[in-house]
Amino acid sequence: MGKWGFIGTGGFGRVARGLLIAACTGVLSIGVSAQIAGTKHNLGTSGPAGQNRFSGTAEICVFCHTPHGADTSAAVPLWNRTLPAPGTFQTYDSLGTSSLDGKVAPVGSVSIACLSCHDGVQSMSAVINAPGSGLTGDAAWQAGTWSGPNQTAGVMTGVAALGRDLRNDHPVGIQYGGGGYSTATLTGPSTDLDFKAASNALVGSTRVWWVDTEATPNNTRQKTDIQLYTRGTGVGNPGYTGQTNPEPFVECASCHDPHTANPTFLRIQNTGSAVCLACHVK
């Protein structure tokens, strides 16, 4: 049965594997594999025709997640890829834009997980733990080949391949609203009124942040809200920018949900620039 035990490569295997990851992490929801089955994030043989596909497996989750042997340095569940080095990226702040008032941290958090494919450097099938027996995978995986218009030997190309020069992309790892959030008051910066105030709540001992996208805010964090990601204080904390309190930062997954079927994986439809205007007051 291989190292996945009962988890095979057919439809049942994909569902079972999704359930296992959900049970282990409490983050991924039941039915995630069904949500992305018809999207570009399904890179296996059951993926959409005419898109990037790998002939070595019908699995969906394996290109990003593994129930065993994950990269424990990743800030996402059971990550199945090796993360690039944060210092290899150029970030938006290097342009010296005068309107940028939030400090920018080294690329990290969930963004660096996204960029382990979207930097266009390593193959999308370069996983830590391939399906089958042994880390290198079964015979089908080892013999697998790539097809599709937006890849070369499995390395992503085209508009989704952001590269490691991120100066022409929306900032990631940037303090939300210019920074300045206070643990004492949990309020946002009063000096930058160009951003909507972020909501927050304690989940266990962790404070989470988000920006409501509902017309009438419901004060609960939903998948369709703009997600913000806390970076902590202390020189030894990855991504620390000198802030005196843990603060919400903007990351790739603030606007994008890899498990949705929305166009370009946006958390909400961008009709009337709704994604932009969820945070920016313009």
Best CA proximity match to 221, nearest among 201, 196, 195:
201
User: d(Cα 229, Cα 254) in Å, to the nearest integer?
Assistant: 8
Structure confidence by residue, pLDDT tens digits, 43-84: 999 999 999 999 999 999 999 999 999 999 999 999 999 999
The predicted-structure confidence for 232-253, as pLDDT tens digits, reads as follows: 777 666 667 777 778 899 999 9
- pLDDT 10s digits, 198-240: 898 888 888 889 999 998 888 899 999 999 998 877 766 666 7
pTM of the full structure: 0.84
Residue 215 zone, left/alpha/beta (φ > 0; ψ -120 to 50; rest): alpha
